[in-house]
Amino acid sequence: MSEKTTFQSKLENIWYHYKFHICMAAVAIVTVVICVTQLVTKDESDYYAIYAGPEIFAYQDVKYIERALASVGEDRTGDKQVTVTLKDIVMLSPEELEEAKSQGAKFNNEFLQTSMTEFNQQIFTGDSVICLLSPYMYENVHEEGGFLPLSEIFDEIPDSAYDDCGIILSETDFGKDFQGISALPDNTILCMRKISTMSAFGSKKKSEKQQQDYLTLFRNIVNYTSGAEPG
């Protein structure tokens, strides 16, 4: 038997006995490479926001909302432009879910669980800080003390306040004036994550600087006056 044939036989024997392990290792390597590549090449936005509620947005609606938020923001990354990345997650209350089903919509438990997991990840460890939420999703996090109180953002509580932490966006001039914001349901609540939910994987100093930048954006949204020049 030739040396080449013997080597080939050994390879075939290894593959036969360890093909599952080899495939799993290959998948793991590819996954790591993809994640590292995405991390290195990721475009950094100045701000990150999240919408969670029953609305299903068209791609253009998301872009309108991002541009509206960016118009009252500041250049945090130094690239001479202001950008916002909005993460939108479809989440329904039990009542909204039943109503949707009565109208023929179909949802499976895996989809609902995946959406909830994604939402929790964004709220507690993700990039999103500015939150645009349905009342149901807002209450879920508010009960856990996850939002910054308005009393720590403003000297006086705005007239558009929903409660101690939330703002009814449609009752602000910002919500009334900007085309993109009209895509949001009228009961959408604007709120901001606490610094404690942003600092788990970063330095406290960096988190505090980040919070100050987002506080400025939040105030700019709520204090925006019709007819004013954005930015």
What pLDDT, on a 0 to 100 scale, did the predictor assign at position 204?
A: 67
Are 111 and 89 in contact, with CB atoms under 8 Å apart?
no
Query: Do 186 and 85 share a structural domain?
Result: yes
What pLDDT, on a 0 to 100 scale, did the predictor assign at position 10?
A: 54
| Total structural domains within the chain | 2
The tens digit of pLDDT for each residue in 14-70 reads 545 555 555 455 544 544 433 433 343 346 899 999 999 999 999 999 999 999 999
Q: Is the pLDDT of residue 90 over 60?
A: yes
The tens digit of pLDDT for each residue in 103-139 reads 888 877 888 889 999 999 998 888 899 999 999 999 9
pLDDT top residue among 196 and 110: 110
Query: Do 124 and 79 share a structural domain?
Result: yes
Of 106, 127, 136, nearest in space to 193 by CA: 127
Domain residues for the domain of 178 are 44-223
Whether 229 maps to a domain, the answer reads no
Query: Do 70 and 22 share a structural domain?
Result: no
pLDDT top residue among 71 and 103: 71
The tens digit of pLDDT for each residue in 129-170 reads 999 999 999 999 999 999 999 999 999 999 999 999 999 999
Cα 228 from chain centre = 28
Sign of CA dihedral 122, 150, 183, 178: negative
Please compute the mean of the pLDDT values over residues 216-227 and round it to a whole number: 94
Sequence-distant (≥ 6) Cβ neighbours of residue 71 within 8 angstroms: 82, 178, 230, 231
Query: Do 111 and 190 share a structural domain?
Result: yes
Q: Is the pLDDT of residue 9 over 80?
A: no
Residue 163 maps to which CATH number?
3.40.190
Of 68, 54, 23, nearest in space to 177 by CA: 68
Q: Token pair of 230, please?
A: 């954005």
Query: Do 170 and 71 share a structural domain?
Result: yes
Whether 98 maps to a domain, the answer reads yes
Query: Do 8 and 86 share a structural domain?
Result: no
Query: Do 48 and 36 share a structural domain?
Result: no
Whether 130 maps to a domain, the answer reads yes
Are 210 and 46 in contact, with CB atoms under 8 Å apart?
no
Query: Do 21 and 127 share a structural domain?
Result: no
Percent of the chain clearing pLDDT 90 (strictly above): 57
Q: Is the pLDDT of residue 229 over 80?
A: no
Residue 16: how many other CB atoms lie within 10 Å: 8
How far the first Cα of the chain sits from its last, in Å, is 79
What pLDDT, on a 0 to 100 scale, did the predictor assign at position 230?
A: 58
Query: Do 151 and 64 share a structural domain?
Result: yes
Whether 230 maps to a domain, the answer reads no
Query: Do 28 and 126 share a structural domain?
Result: no
Q: Is the pLDDT of residue 212 over 70?
A: yes
Query: Do 94 and 4 share a structural domain?
Result: no
Least confident range from 88-97, 151-160, 196-205: namely 196-205
Query: Do 128 and 106 share a structural domain?
Result: yes
